[in-house]
Amino acid sequence: MLIPRLITNRILDDLIRSGKIILLYGPRQAGKTTLSKLILEKTGLKTLMVNADQSKYIDILSSRDLSKLKSLVHGYEILFIDEGQRIPDIGINLKILHDEIPKLKVLVTGSSSFLLSNRVTESLTGRKKVYTLFPVSMGELSKLHNRFELDNQLEERLIYGQYPEVINLTGYHEKEDYLREIASSYIYKDILELENIRYPFKIRDLLRLLAFQTGSQVSLHELGRQLGLNRETIERYLYLLEQSFVIYRLPAFSRNLRKEISKSQKFYFYDNGIRNILLDNLLPPTNRNDMGALWENFLLSERKKKLVYENKHANSYFWRTYTGSEIDYIEETQGKYFAFEIKSGKKKVKIPKTWQEQYGNDFQLINKENYLDFIL
């Protein structure tokens, strides 16, 4: 089943009209190659497809030799480079192509190591447009299924997540095997390729700790103590995992009121299936004691995808006071605050009085009755 991706038309339009190099980032296995080939087919233009594993292409695309670059792309209207992070000096060579052959359209996919290595960012300042492709969003699935069907699929999404291959596999054992493969190989590959990690197994241990603490405030000091690592190393690993699209952090909201916690942070996973396989727990929701964390991780990751795909700029936080008042999720947009409390059950909640007095009444409970409005 081909899953429609929400950024397809935007990338297609920019590729045809913007005159800029299109960079498509995202985690491995998220569907970047499939999406790119679909877009290229829609253009109807003559395309050179480059597999960055082949040495004949690597040699030319890392040569900085204009004559070689021209000979490679002669007669083509689009150059497509898949997994561009594998080509040394790719950034400067793309700059040469852009400046010297301005009519050539270029689309490049790259995993997070492309981003981490800075091979492209500095060289292509003002010459690129960047897109990120996440695991499949509920917004994308809504193009194939109505709300009744999405509700029926909810349990599977909560447990197995939304990597394209996971969605298309039918058997639960096959889904589990695939998630184990991603968790044991792909999510660490970019980091280990680029960084001299002294204790690579510590990264997996760190992720497991974060999986257990999903939705809770995380102490970097405590993480370091449990892993036998200093704070600087923990920060570095967390940064690498964020850049690799495995996790993201939610900082505490504060306007410097003395009663507000301001320096805490929470971490969430972009995909529930990855979180669950790290915990080695693929039990259904009725047999779990972490349903609150599972539900919160799912909704906040979906909300994040929605904001990115709709190109909406919002600052995201959680809020808590030293006296125990808290709100799961805050969005700040153009100076306005929108507060959301996330519950997996039907329990009613009221807006905390402290928040109401300081920031206003825009407060909403998100539960299984209205969650689709929040993420679609």
Q: What is the pLDDT of residues 339-371, one digit of tens each?
A: 999 999 888 899 999 999 999 999 999 999 999
In whole angstroms, what is the distance from residue 313 CA to residue 136 CA? 20
Domain edges within the chain: 8-132, 138-375
Cα torsion 87, 92, 95, 96: sign: negative
Say what the pTM is.
0.93
Tokens linked to 1:
């089943």
The C-alpha torsion from 210 through 212 and 217 to 218, rounded to 10°, is -40
Topology (CATH level 3) of domain 138-375: Arc Repressor Mutant, subunit A (1.10.10)
Q: Which of 213, 338, 330, 341 is nearest to 260 (CA)?
A: 330
Task: Look at the domain 8-132 and name its fold.
Answer: Rossmann fold (3.40.50)
Alpha-carbon span 261 to 82, nearest angstrom: 44
Angle in degrees, 0-180, between the axes of helices 200-212 and 187-194, rounded to the nearest 10? 140
Give CA–CA dist 337/114, Å, rounded.
35
pLDDT at 113: 60
Which of 129, 111, 105, 110 has the alpha carbon at shortest distance from 42? 105
Residue with tokens 């029926």, as numbered in its chain: 152
Query: What pLDDT score was predicted for residue 244?
Result: 86
Vertex 210, ends 348 and 312: CA angle to 5°? 65
Would strands 336-342 and 363-366 be described as parallel, antiparallel, or unpaired?
parallel
**Residue-level pLDDT at 261:** 78
Q: CA 267, 269, 273, 279: dihedral to nearest 10 degrees?
A: -30
- Quick one: pLDDT at residue 264? 87
Q: Tell me which residues of the chain have a pLDDT lower than 50.
A: none
Nearest-angstrom CA–CA distance, 289 and 292: 8
Distance CA 68, CA 163 (A): 38
54-103 tens-digit pLDDT: 888 999 999 999 999 999 999 999 999 998 888 888 889 999 999 999 99
Is residue 46 within 8 A of residue 77, CB to CB? The reply is yes
Distance CA 180, CA 14 (A): 36
